Amino acid sequence: MAMITTSARRAPQAKRQLRRPRPNSLERSVQSKSLERLVYMASCAPLRRRALIVEDEFVIALDLEHAMSALGFEVCGLAPSDRAARSLAMSKDPDIVLMDVCLEGGQEGIETARWLQQVCGASVVFVTVCSDENTLERIHQQVPGAPILSKLSFREHLAAAVAEASKPTTRPT
């Protein structure tokens, strides 16, 4: 006669306990409502605003990227030149552009910023070390209302400058 041990008798019970019971109609309803709530919340969540950074100095571009991400922006690209900025802006449709005045290869970012503002509708914030009167005057003439920050101290004023640049204004055509 074969002797059945206690552990052999408990094995089928342990197996049954590991199986998850099928949810009843109330549990299915709760799961369905939870899923519906998640989908609704995702559809109502504000879309992250997109930022393009036009800066030819890579370390500064990365610093700006980090600062914009901390403000809740999705950085859609880093562009070192006029051509790269225009290309990225056309494909990524940024809401705001952080623009250096002196770009790679001696190019100037003021005209590019004006183009990005007029063609793409992006707000512009200048982050530059160029602070001579002639440059500042050209910025104010070609891109009126664009905030200008120093590369040396942009962290302290970036949030305020982004908010100012994002205000709806009537832009000259």
Q: Do residues 122 and 52 make contact, with C-beta atoms less than 8 angstroms apart? A: yes
Please give the average per-residue pLDDT across 134-163, as a whole number. Answer: 84
Counting the structural domains of the chain, the total is 1
Instruction: Please check whether residue 114 lies inside any domain of the structure.
Output: yes
pLDDT tens sequence across 87-98: 999 999 999 999
Instruction: Please check whether residue 135 lies inside any domain of the structure.
Output: yes
Whole-number pLDDT of residue 30: 47
| % pLDDT > 90, the chain | 39
Instruction: Please check whether residue 80 lies inside any domain of the structure.
Output: yes
Q: Do residues 109 and 103 make contact, with C-beta atoms less than 8 angstroms apart? A: yes
Residue 158's Cβ-count burial label (10 Å; 0-12, 13-18, 19+) is: buried
The contacts of residue 130 (CB under 8 Å, 6+ apart) are: 101, 102
Whole-number pLDDT of residue 11: 53
More confident residue, 157 or 148: 148
Q: Which amino acid is at 19?
A: R
Q: Do residues 149 and 127 make contact, with C-beta atoms less than 8 angstroms apart? A: yes
| % pLDDT > 70, the chain | 69
Q: Do residues 117 and 172 make contact, with C-beta atoms less than 8 angstroms apart? A: no
Q: Do residues 137 and 91 make contact, with C-beta atoms less than 8 angstroms apart? A: no
- Cα–Cα dist 96/56, whole Å: 18
Please give the average per-residue pLDDT across 65-78, as a whole number. Answer: 91
As given in the structure block, the two tokens for residue 144 are 């009126």
pLDDT tens sequence across 97-120: 999 998 887 778 999 999 999 999
Q: Do residues 130 and 106 make contact, with C-beta atoms less than 8 angstroms apart? A: no
Instruction: State the chain's mean pLDDT as an integer.
Output: 78
More confident residue, 41 or 56: 56
Of the candidates 93, 101, 98, 41, the one whose C-alpha atom is nearest the C-alpha of residue 69 is 98
Whole-number pLDDT of residue 129: 86
Instruction: Please check whether residue 30 lies inside any domain of the structure.
Output: no
Whole-number pLDDT of residue 23: 56
- Cα–Cα dist 150/152, whole Å: 5
Instruction: Please check whether residue 83 lies inside any domain of the structure.
Output: yes
- Cα–Cα dist 79/133, whole Å: 26
Instruction: Please check whether residue 39 lies inside any domain of the structure.
Output: no
- Cα–Cα dist 170/167, whole Å: 10
Any idea what the CATH number is for the domain that residue 61 is in? 3.40.50.2300
Please give the average per-residue pLDDT across 2-24, as a whole number. Answer: 53
Domain that holds residue 112: 50-166
Instruction: Please check whether residue 117 lies inside any domain of the structure.
Output: yes
More confident residue, 10 or 151: 151
Residue 9 has pLDDT above 80, yes or no: no
The pTM (predicted TM-score) of the whole model is 0.66
Instruction: Please check whether residue 74 lies inside any domain of the structure.
Output: yes
Please give the average per-residue pLDDT across 136-163, as a whole number. Answer: 83
